């Protein structure tokens, strides 16, 4: 009864104030408030509206029919139905921030196919009049480099990836990546990008790393530059991006990959960790762990990135999950800047999917739901 008494007293107080106020002037036509649209019209044009229930105790998962584990039930903001995070396909690892729509309400984007010209334009492949000669030249270069690099493998030196010899196969591989990036509404970028509203490039200095960072050797820098130059010519690494109903987009080897082969550099927008504390992007990568936590950086591949964005993580809570790991992320100092490289940790067979440990540096990412 106390709240009702307070409300009644408040209404009496407002009434007494209104009686003692001076008469208000009639507003001029120029200051009249705009006519608001009726709620029926707003509701008719709205895509959907969220209506809160008084009681959610009867919510069950639409997939398994169980109401158990309520802490893992997600409610669609359109149909208001419940779904277990592990029952969704692909699974949802952690509770999204903001509104969330179930697969039926969100709709599935049609996978776009890319012609040869569109693939060249999408990846900004460097055009050359003597393309055949260039390709042969690059193959000769690899032949000359391959032997000393294999000998250096015992000292854990990076190996360059070997592109598929068939140009049509390379176009197919790049086409799968272009389709996945487009479906995620991302642009392709093989470099770290810096925006004015995020961290500046001057913030990315390896000397800020707490405890120091290993420096990429001269031989490995040559391997990195060789792979980057091949990619710019359209001689991409032999991988394809496929969609799995359980894992979402994932990456498969389209040829045999040797241990210690460079796979890709992890790219995207560089931002301070403090700016991304409430970000639900599931692919952020640690770039710099500074002595001053406010200077620590992450890579955010939500707007731009490359094939590294689609390499999935292992479930590092199970022995079976750990066995699936076949590559790793390593942070290096390259010319004084922090960079993250993905490297094969063992021989990878053709058709095998790529996995690495999301918790290579920290143990904060929830991987217990991973398959």
pLDDT digits (tens, 9 = 90+) for 43-88: 666 665 666 666 777 888 988 888 888 888 888 888 888 888 878 8
pLDDT of residue 357: 86
Tokens 């569109």 locate to 118
- Positions of the chain with pLDDT under 70: 1-37, 39-40, 42-54, 93-94, 107-113, 127-155, 280-281, 315, 317, 359-371
- Give CA–CA dist 259/346, Å, rounded: 4
User: CA-to-CA distance for 344 and 264, rounded, in angstroms?
Assistant: 10
Q: How many helices (H) and strands (E) does the chain have?
A: 8, 14
- Beta strands, E only, 45-133: 73-75, 82-84
Q: Are 316 and 227 in contact (CB under 8 A)?
A: no
Q: 178 and 250 in contact (C-beta within 8 Å)?
A: no
The pLDDT assigned to 370 comes to: 57
For residue 262 the two structure tokens come to 């460079």
Q: What is the structure's pLDDT at 271?
A: 96
Sequence spans of domains, the chain? 57-107, 114-124+157-354
pLDDT at 42: 64
Give dist(CA 204, CA 295) in Å, integer. 9
Q: Is the pTM of this model over 0.75?
A: no
Nearest to 227 by CA among 238, 214, 240, 215: 238
> What CA–CA distance (Å, rounded) separates 229 from 251?
22
Give the model confidence (pLDDT) of 323-343 as tens digits.
889 999 999 999 999 999 999
Residue 290: how many CA atoms within 13 Å on its side-chain side?
A: 18
Class of domain 114-124+157-354 (CATH, top level): mainly beta
Q: What residues contact 300, with CB distance under 8 A and at least 6 apart?
A: 268, 269, 270, 271, 276, 279, 281, 283, 284
3-state helix, strand, coil in the chain (%, to 5): 35, 20, 50
- Angle (deg, nearest 10), helices 131-151 and 218-232: 160
Mean pLDDT estimate for the chain:
79
CATH T-level fold of 57-107: Herpes Virus-1 (3.30.40)
Smallest CA-to-CA distance from 249 within 330, 306, 287, 291 is with 306
Q: What are phi and psi of 337, to 5 degrees?
A: -110, 150
């Amino acid at each position: 009864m106390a709240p009702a008494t307070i409300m009644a007293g408040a209404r009496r107080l407002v009434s007494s104030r209104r009686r003692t106020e001076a008469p208000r002037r009639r507003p001029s036509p120029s200051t009249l408030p705009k006519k608001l649209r009726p709620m029926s019209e707003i509701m008719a044009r709205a895509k959907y509206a969220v209506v809160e229930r008084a009681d959610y105790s009867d919510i069950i998962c639409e997939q398994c029919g169980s109401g158990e584990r309520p802490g893992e039930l997600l409610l669609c903001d359109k149909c208001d139905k419940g779904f277990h995070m592990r029952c969704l396909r692909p699974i949802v690892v952690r509770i999204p921030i903001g509104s969330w729509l179930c697969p039926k309400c969100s709709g599935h984007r049609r996978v776009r196919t890319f012609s040869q010209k569109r693939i060249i334009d999408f990846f900004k492949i460097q055009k050359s009049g003597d393309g055949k000669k260039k390709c042969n030249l690059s193959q000769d270069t690899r032949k000359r480099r391959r032997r000393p690099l294999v000998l250096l493998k015992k000292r854990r030196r990076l190996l360059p990836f070997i592109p598929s010899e068939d140009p049509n196969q390379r176009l197919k591989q790049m086409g799968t990546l272009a389709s996945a990036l487009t479906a995620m509404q991302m642009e392709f970028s093989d470099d770290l990008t810096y925006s004015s509203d995020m961290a500046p490039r001057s913030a990315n200095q390896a000397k800020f790393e707490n405890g120091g960072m290993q420096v990429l050797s001269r031989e490995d820098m040559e391997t990195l530059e060789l792979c980057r130059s091949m990619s710019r010519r359209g001689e991409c690494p032999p991988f394809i991006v496929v969609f799995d109903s359980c894992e979402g987009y994932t990456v498969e080897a389209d040829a045999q990959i040797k241990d210690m082969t460079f796979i890709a550099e992890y790219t995207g927008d560089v931002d301070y960790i403090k700016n991304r504390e409430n970000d639900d992007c599931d692919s952020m990568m640690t770039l710099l762990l500074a002595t001053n936590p406010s200077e620590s950086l992450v890579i955010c591949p939500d707007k731009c990135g490359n094939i590294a964005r689609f390499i999935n993580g292992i479930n590092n809570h199970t022995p079976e999950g750990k066995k699936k790991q076949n590559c790793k992320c390593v942070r290096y100092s390259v010319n004084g800047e922090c960079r993250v490289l993905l490297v094969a940790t063992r021989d990878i067979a053709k058709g095998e999917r790529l996995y690495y440990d999301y918790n290579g540096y920290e143990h904060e990412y929830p991987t217990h739901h991973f398959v």
